[in-house]
């Protein structure tokens, strides 16, 4: 019998869709203009970051306080310069030797570890079985995050004018990948443990089986003809027959 957490009992993969935040965009800009990734050539010796830092400071005339680095994947290291012209010099240099170390430098790019995704389908989803106290955009986003990026929850649902389903609009790469149901687990709020106390041994919550109805799919061509670029506006859904 497999123990909890055994590799054989775990799913091979899952999916999650999330929107970028202001902090993420700022960090993307910083890394894109100030960071490089570094591979070690030859037999790729095991080298600590202090030695790599000394090599870069020597090669590019950088003060130790103007450079930071960490072990990385798939490259061996990521190096972040305080000043952009130092980064540019490293990218232009590409390769250099320092003692028995053979460094290969490339600019940091976010797509090295990813692939382009076009969420070109606009879909209307109706969530059945979502507990009423959890009717908000944050929970709606988590419920569909496996395959969709939430656009907005319909105003009627937010105001709880009709609580049979929570209706939302979202963007997805492939409507066929939207699950027919989601198990949503809502855990209790963490308790403050005062001095001398001990935390609970069990972190418990409630499971909810939320059925995800795919109510409407807007084709990419229709969207190009009908959506105002850069504007977010609620869209009318066809009325269901009586």
| Percent of the chain scoring above 90 in pLDDT | 57
Which segment of 41-55, 122-136, 184-198 scores lowest on mean pLDDT?
A: 184-198
Q: How far apart are CA 58 and CA 60, in angstroms?
A: 6
Average pLDDT of the residues of the chain: 84
User: CA angle, 116 as apex, 115 and 121 as ends, to 5°?
Assistant: 135
Q: Please report the pLDDT score of residue 144 as a whole number.
A: 92
pTM of the entire structure?
Answer: 0.69
Q: Please report the pLDDT score of residue 187 as a whole number.
A: 84
Q: Please report the pLDDT score of residue 11 as a whole number.
A: 76
In tens, the pLDDT along 62-81 reads: 999 999 999 998 899 999 99
| Residue 97 or residue 1, greater confidence | 97
Which segment of 5-14, 67-76, 135-144, 216-225 scores lowest on mean pLDDT?
A: 216-225
Predicted confidence (pLDDT) at residue 222 exceeds the cutoff of 70: no
- Provide the 3-class DSSP secondary structure of residue 133: helix
Which segment of 121-125, 193-197, 203-207, 238-242 scores lowest on mean pLDDT?
A: 238-242
First to last CA, the chain: 52
Nearest residue to 79 via CA among 39, 37, 112, 110: 37
């Amino acid at each position: 019998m497999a123990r909890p957490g055994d590799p054989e009992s775990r799913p091979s993969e899952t999916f999650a869709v999330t929107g970028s935040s202001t902090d993420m965009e700022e960090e993307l800009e910083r890394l894109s203009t100030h960071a490089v990734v570094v591979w070690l050539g030859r037999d790729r010796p095991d080298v600590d970051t202090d030695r790599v830092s000394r090599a870069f400071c020597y090669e590019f005339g950088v003060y130790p306080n103007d450079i930071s680095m960490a072990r990385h994947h798939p490259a061996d290291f990521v190096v972040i310069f305080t000043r952009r012209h130092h980064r540019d010099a490293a990218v232009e240099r590409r390769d250099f030797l320092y003692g028995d170390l053979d460094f290969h430098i490339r600019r940091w790019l976010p797509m090295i570890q990813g692939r382009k995704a076009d969420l070109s389908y606009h879909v209307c989803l109706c969530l059945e079985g979502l507990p009423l106290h959890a009717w908000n955009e944050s929970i709606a986003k988590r419920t569909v995050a496996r395959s969709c990026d939430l656009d907005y929850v319909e105003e009627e649902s937010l105001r709880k004018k009709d609580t049979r389903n929570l209706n939302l609009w979202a963007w997805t790469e492939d409507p066929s990948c939207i699950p027919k149901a989601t198990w949503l687990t809502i855990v209790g709020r963490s308790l403050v443990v005062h001095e001398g106390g001990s935390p609970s041994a069990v972190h418990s919550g409630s499971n909810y089986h939320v059925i995800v109805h795919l109510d409407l799919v807007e084709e990419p061509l229709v969207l190009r003809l009908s959506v105002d670029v850069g504007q977010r506006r609620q869209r009318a859904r066809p009325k269901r027959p009586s």
